[in-house]
């Protein structure tokens, strides 16, 4: 009798917040929905600075963050994470890694890209236009083969991708490296409307000032999104050679 292999994911939580339990639960739910019985282990790279053993997980996830500018050059725990990424690519070249929002930005900085401020905040479910490569990568994953709908929650973005990365969506919203081992998203495939609203309570400046702005934002947050389908594709991709 063959025992079914359990999918293992390591999630590096790049935040310090009272909302971290809800944040972790979002990743837990999405990953186990995409791969039933998956083992999801969480790591704290900020305080304890404990990392997963390289090569022991099918997938390593770098979450969004609220503690430091991903481009900072004088924060020890942040520099240690960049060292971990480089060491992982060097020692375990087939390791699959996903970067989300802040994790997306840090990944590109680590491999030679740049990040900068946007002219405005981006919050709520937003359609992201896929490139030709993106349409091929996500073929059959969504109702539309031209775009994916994903929660956004950020005010900084990747200006120049890391070396060797290919755009799967316009405006550096989703990229994959040439080796097909690192996949990054500016948006939040793990996020729900409920989690987005909780984060807004922690980030008042994103909420808007007028009643009209608040209504528009609320409408965007409650739009249908492709988060579960994205995670299904991520898990599938993690198992590809």
Q: Is 104 a catalytic residue?
A: no
3-state secondary structure the chain: CCCCCCCEEEEEEECCCCCHHHHHHHHHHHHHHHCCCCEEEEECCCCCCCCCCCCCCCEEEEEEECCCCCCCCCCHHHHHHHHHHHHHHHHCCCCEEEEECHHHHHHHHHCCCEEEEEEEEEEEEEEEEECHHHHHHCCCCCCCCCEEEEEEEEEEEEEECCCCEEEEEHHHCEEEECCCCEEEECCECCCCHHHHHHHHHHCHHHCCCCHHHHHHHHHHHCCCCCHHHHHHHHHHHHCCC
Is the model's pLDDT at 94 over the cut of 60? Answer: yes
Q: Of the listed 104, 151, 188, 225, which one is catalytic?
A: 188
Is the model's pLDDT at 230 over the cut of 90? Answer: yes
Q: Is 101 a catalytic residue?
A: yes
- The domains located in the chain, with CATH, are 8-117+156-192+227-238 (3.40.50.880)
Is the model's pLDDT at 3 over the cut of 90? Answer: no
The pLDDT tens digits of the residues spanning 109-120 come to 999 999 999 988
The pLDDT tens digits of the residues spanning 160-185 come to 999 999 999 999 999 999 999 999 99
Is the model's pLDDT at 1 over the cut of 60? Answer: no
Give the predicted TM-score (pTM) of the model: 0.95
Is the model's pLDDT at 2 over the cut of 60? Answer: no
Q: Of the listed 101, 104, 122, 225, which one is catalytic?
A: 101
Is the model's pLDDT at 148 over the cut of 80? Answer: yes
């Amino acid at each position: 009798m063959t025992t079914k292999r359990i999918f293992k994911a390591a999630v590096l939580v790049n935040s310090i917040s009272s909302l971290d339990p809800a944040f972790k639960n979002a990743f837990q739910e999405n990953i186990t929905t995409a791969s039933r019985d998956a083992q999801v282990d969480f790591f704290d790279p900020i305080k304890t600075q404990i990392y997963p053993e390289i090569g022991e997980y099918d997938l390593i996830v770098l979450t969004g963050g609220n503690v430091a500018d991903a481009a900072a050059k004088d924060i020890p725990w942040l520099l240690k994470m960049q060292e971990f990424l480089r060491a992982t690519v060097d020692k375990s070249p087939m390791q699959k890694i996903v970067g989300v929002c802040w994790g997306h930005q840090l990944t590109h900085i680590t491999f030679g890209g740049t990040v900068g401020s946007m002219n405005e905040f981006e919050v709520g479910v937003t359609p992201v236009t896929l490139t030709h490569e993106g349409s091929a990568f996500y073929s059959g994953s969504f109702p539309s083969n031209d775009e994916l709908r994903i929660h956004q929650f950020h005010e900084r973005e990747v200006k120049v991708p890391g070396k060797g990365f290919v755009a799967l969506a316009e405006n550096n919203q989703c990229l994959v490296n040439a080796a097909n081992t690192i996949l990054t998203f500016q948006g939040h495939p793990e996020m729900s409307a409920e989690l987005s609203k909780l984060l807004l309570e922690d980030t008042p400046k994103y909420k808007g000032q007028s009643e009209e702005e608040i209504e528009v934002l609320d409408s965007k947050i409650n739009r249908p999104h492709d988060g579960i389908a994205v995670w299904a594709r991520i898990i599938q991709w993690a198992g590809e050679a």
